[in-house]
Amino acid sequence: MEMVAKQKLPQKILNYVLLIILTAVVLGPFLIGLWTSLLPTMDIAKGNFLSLHISLTNYVDAFQKTPILQYLGNSLWISTLTTIAQLIFCSMSAYAFVFLRFRGRKVLFILFLATMMLPFEAEIIPNFMTVKAMGLLNTYSAMIVPFLTSAFGTFMLRQSFLQMPDELKEAADIEGLGHFQFYWKIVMPYNRISLITLGAYGFLGAWNQYLWPMLTTFSNAFRPVQNGLRQLQSEETFNDWGMIQATAAIVVIPTLIVLFVGQHYFKSGMNEGAVK
Amino acid sequence: MSISLRNVRKDYDQQTKVLEKVSAEVQTGEFFVIVGPSGCGKSTLLRMIAGLTPITDGEVRINDRVVNELPPKARKLTMVFQNYALYPFLSVWDNVAFGLKARKLSQSDVQNRVNNALKMVNLTDFKNRKPRELSGGQRQRVALARAVASDADICLMDEPLSNLDAQLRIRMRQEIYNLQRKLGLTLIYVTHDQVEAMTMADHIMVLNDQHVQQIGTPAEIYQHPANEFVAQFFGTPQINILPAKRSAENSHLLTVGSNDMQVALNEEVPADQLRIGVRPDELTISRADSVDSNAVVKNTEFLGNETIVYATLNSGDNVRAVLPGQVNFRGYEPIKVQVGSHLLFFNNDGERIGLTKEEAVHA
Ligand SMILES: Nc1ncnc2c1ncn2[C@@H]1O[C@H](COP(=O)(O)OP(=O)(O)OP(=O)(O)O)[C@@H](O)[C@H]1O
Ligand SMILES: [Mg+2]
């Protein structure tokens, strides 16, 4: 703050001009999208973007004429389950890497990390074969099972668990807490900021999946939102752009909620006193 | 709950041998203090008693039962860690209750114990706060309350006061002492602060150089230290240790420094070379002309009720003397330093030997 206050006026102006330009670049498309979602498709088609025929009709239409609710429900279900599963499995494997002593712990962890180097796209074909062989195509499972855990989540939580003071484990040993009690009553609450971060990350990752659901779902009953949007656009012979914009806006809302809530927790946790 | 250590040994690995032949008996209800310089293995010893660190060799017994293989929980003790180990996500009340709940005490029992413990450490008003909303001293007291609330009879504390400021430390010292007496706890207390050891302990164990140097009451340790290390560890300012020789003419006579002082013994001096230890308040200093003097003043420090005089003997040895009241010396003023009646004698290995000084001083 002090630094900013001490800056000379011209430099300050320059800074703000730059910031405003960047903000416009970043927010611009988003705002245009939001704006067009309020306009009748006729105006959009004519390129009359400054029209004043603003209404929420597109939104009402979206809910009434398209399976957007079904898509939202699918995505919510898939993302929630994926998030919960990732939190449980990643925290448990991270716990094992930090608090259990077993042979080959280091090697196993390196193997774990190595899987992070592999982009998901490279795994798509074998994954697809597996899912197909298991008869899971076009089910929720197809979109959840491959993402039940993540090497990144384990890695991130392991780093966080390693920061815990040894004395907490020792105090728990003296109180006679078993591994599961220690995990559940101390490790999880102690690291809740990391867990929330991972949860938000996992949720958004699942919510924004596109490639994988495109390959594994064929019906609206299981299709998540991102693919749903694409479907809407390709199904309609006459593209109702206003309505498609409205659905896109609806789809973004959960993402914004997750980010805002997550940020709130993240801030509150930053200055939490640790042990001493 | 008595604790007994028999020839306990700890090697972390081939190179790091930390403790050897540590033996001690701690009686029920005793305030037992372990002192020693940093890195001498105090925490290691405490953690071995708690069962957090395995023992390389020897035996730890609690109530006459060998507990070497027993997990920490089964040893029925509590531990106050140097950094408190509070759970930041729990309130003060829940922090204190945590262990009790984990031990599955009944709800009313937990309520009673926690409330009493918080009352005892004066934290009732803070029971809903989180640890981060407390001062260092208050956190310290939460850690103490956990030990107080526990139903265990043995309490281990690892330098619990080292993070506190001087005044708070004095107050907490008294609080811990009172609590221990009131609850009849068997308390093993680790510190590197000799004042804490002297003021609180029933018995003190002095550790250094992998070995127990001495175990005894504060008075024994101060008055009859087993060796030079113990003598130097206790008492401020530090004890003066001076080289001494058997006089060529009189085998009962010791000359200190280069004949700066003489000490007559009741018995024959057992070796050609000795070292004597004199507490700073056992030295007397008088002004003398340069013919008579055996030292010069280097520096004085006035502390209000006493004055510390730093002087150099003609032999070049430095001595510290504590004189009552305010005493003024000029720099390099010649003085005569004389030893009082309480002297300690050490052989060349630093072990104390029992010799007595003859009453009349032949100066
Ligand atoms: N886990 C460990 N592995 C190897 N060496 C260790 C380990 N823990 C302690 N040591 C070594 O053992 C010695 C004693 O350590 P310890 O912590 O018991 O000292 P301390 O007397 O408690 O010191 P302080 O007063 O500084 O706390 C030290 O030299 C330390 O380096
Ligand atoms: Mg220590």
Q: Are the Cβ atoms of A173 and B73 closer than 8 angstroms?
A: yes
Question: Three-class SS of residue B351?
Answer: strand
| Residue A170 included in any domain | yes
Pocket test for ligand 1, best of B12, B56, B163 (most atoms within 8 A of CB): B12
When divided into structural domains, chain A yields a total of 1
b/e sequence A176-213, b meaning 16+ C-beta within 10 Å: bbeeeebbebbbbebbbbbbbbbbbbbbbbbbebeebb
Q: What is the pLDDT of residue B359?
A: 63
The end-to-end CA distance of chain B, in Å, is 54
Distance of alpha carbon A48 from alpha carbon B339, whole angstroms: 107
Nearest CA to A171 out of B186, B114, B95, B176 is that of: B95
Q: What is the pLDDT of residue B251?
A: 81
The residues near B55 (Cβ < 8 Å, ≥ 6 apart) are: B8, B9, B10, B48, B68
Do B336 and B286 form a contact (C-beta atoms < 8 A)?
Answer: yes
Expressed in angstroms and rounded, the spacing between residue A162 Cα and the centre of ligand 2 is 21
pTM, to two decimals: 0.80
| Residue A211 included in any domain | yes
Expressed in angstroms and rounded, the spacing between residue B55 Cα and the centre of ligand 2 is 17
Nearest CA to B276 out of B329, B185, B348, B180 is that of: B348
Closest CA to ligand 1's atom 2: B12
Q: Are the Cβ atoms of B87 and A189 closer than 8 angstroms?
A: yes
Residuewise pLDDT in 10s, chain A (276 residues):
455 556 788 899 999 999 999 999 999 988 888 888 888 887 887 877 777 778 888 888 888 888 888 999 999 999 999 999 999 999 999 999 999 999 999 999 999 889 888 888 888 999 999 999 999 888 999 999 999 999 999 999 999 999 999 899 999 999 888 999 999 999 999 998 899 989 998 999 999 988 899 889 888 888 898 888 888 777 765 577 888 888 888 888 888 888 888 787 766 655 454 443
| Residue A35 included in any domain | no
B318 lines ligand 1 (CB under 6 A): no
Residue with tokens 């060799």: B57
Do B309 and B320 form a contact (C-beta atoms < 8 A)?
Answer: yes
Distance of alpha carbon B101 from alpha carbon B116, whole angstroms: 16
Q: What is the pLDDT of residue A251?
A: 87
Angle at B279 between CA B278 and CA B282, to 5 degrees: 85
Distance of alpha carbon B31 from alpha carbon B33, whole angstroms: 7
* Secondary structure (DSSP) of B121-159: TT-GGGTTS-GGGS-HHHHHHHHHHHHHHS--SEEEEES
Residues shown for chain B: 363
Chain-centre distance for alpha carbon B57: 26
Distance of alpha carbon B328 from alpha carbon B325, whole angstroms: 10
Nearest CA to A158 out of A113, A100, A222, A94 is that of: A94
At the second CATH level, the architecture of B3-231 is 3-Layer(aba) Sandwich (3.40)
What residues of B are in contact with residue A273 (Cβ under 8 Å)? 88, 130-132
A171 close to B (CB below 8 A) = yes
Closest CA to ligand 1's atom 29: B39
Q: Are the Cβ atoms of B89 and A190 closer than 8 angstroms?
A: yes
Expressed in angstroms and rounded, the spacing between residue B19 Cα and the centre of ligand 1 is 10
Distance of alpha carbon B279 from alpha carbon B238, whole angstroms: 7
| Residue A209 included in any domain | yes
Distance of alpha carbon A142 from alpha carbon A126, whole angstroms: 13
Q: Are the Cβ atoms of A174 and B72 closer than 8 angstroms?
A: yes
Distance of alpha carbon A249 from alpha carbon B148, whole angstroms: 59
Mean pLDDT per 10-residue interval, chain B, length 363 residues: 91 90 94 93 93 92 92 91 89 93 89 91 91 88 88 90 82 88 92 91 94 94 93 92 86 81 82 89 87 88 92 90 90 88 88 76 46
Domain ranges of chain B: 3-231, 238-346
Q: What is the pLDDT of residue A267?
A: 65
The atom of ligand 1 lying closest to the CA of B16 is 5
Closest CA to ligand 1's atom 22: B43
| Residue A182 included in any domain | yes
Q: What is the pLDDT of residues B300-347, one digit of tens each?
A: 999 999 999 999 998 888 999 999 999 888 888 999 998 888 889 999
Expressed in angstroms and rounded, the spacing between residue B80 Cα and the centre of ligand 2 is 12
Q: Are the Cβ atoms of A176 and B52 closer than 8 angstroms?
A: no
Distance of alpha carbon A34 from alpha carbon B209, whole angstroms: 75
Distance of alpha carbon B353 from alpha carbon B346, whole angstroms: 6
Q: Which of B47, B81, B139 sits opposite A171 (nearest CB)?
A: B81
Closest CA to ligand 1's atom 25: B38
Do B206 and B230 form a contact (C-beta atoms < 8 A)?
Answer: yes
CA–CA distances in Å: residue B313 to residues A116, A270, B172 = 73, 60, 42
CATH of residue A94 = 1.10.3720.10
B39 lines ligand 1 (CB under 6 A): yes
| Residue A234 included in any domain | no
Contacts 24+ apart (CB under 8 A), B21-27: B21/B58, B21/B211, B21/B212, B22/B58, B22/B207, B22/B211, B22/B212, B23/B212, B24/B205, B24/B212, B24/B215, B26/B2, B26/B186, B26/B188, B26/B203, B27/B2, B27/B186
Distance from CA of B40 to the nearest CA of A (A): 20
Q: Which of B52, B73, B83 sits opposite A175 (nearest CB)?
A: B73
The atom of ligand 1 lying closest to the CA of B13 is 4
What residues of A are in contact with residue B98 (Cβ under 8 Å)? 175, 185
For β-strands B154-158 and B186-191, DSSP reports them as parallel
What residues of A are in contact with residue B132 (Cβ under 8 Å)? 272-273
| Residues of the domain holding A265 | 67-221+256-273
Residue of A nearest to B74 (CA): A176
For residue B351, give both structure tokens: 């072990």
B47 lines ligand 1 (CB under 6 A): no
For domain B238-346, give its CATH number from 3.40.50.80, 2.40.50.140, 3.40.50.1820, 3.40.50.720.
Answer: 2.40.50.140
Distance from CA of B137 to the nearest CA of A (A): 11
Q: What is the pLDDT of residue A61?
A: 83
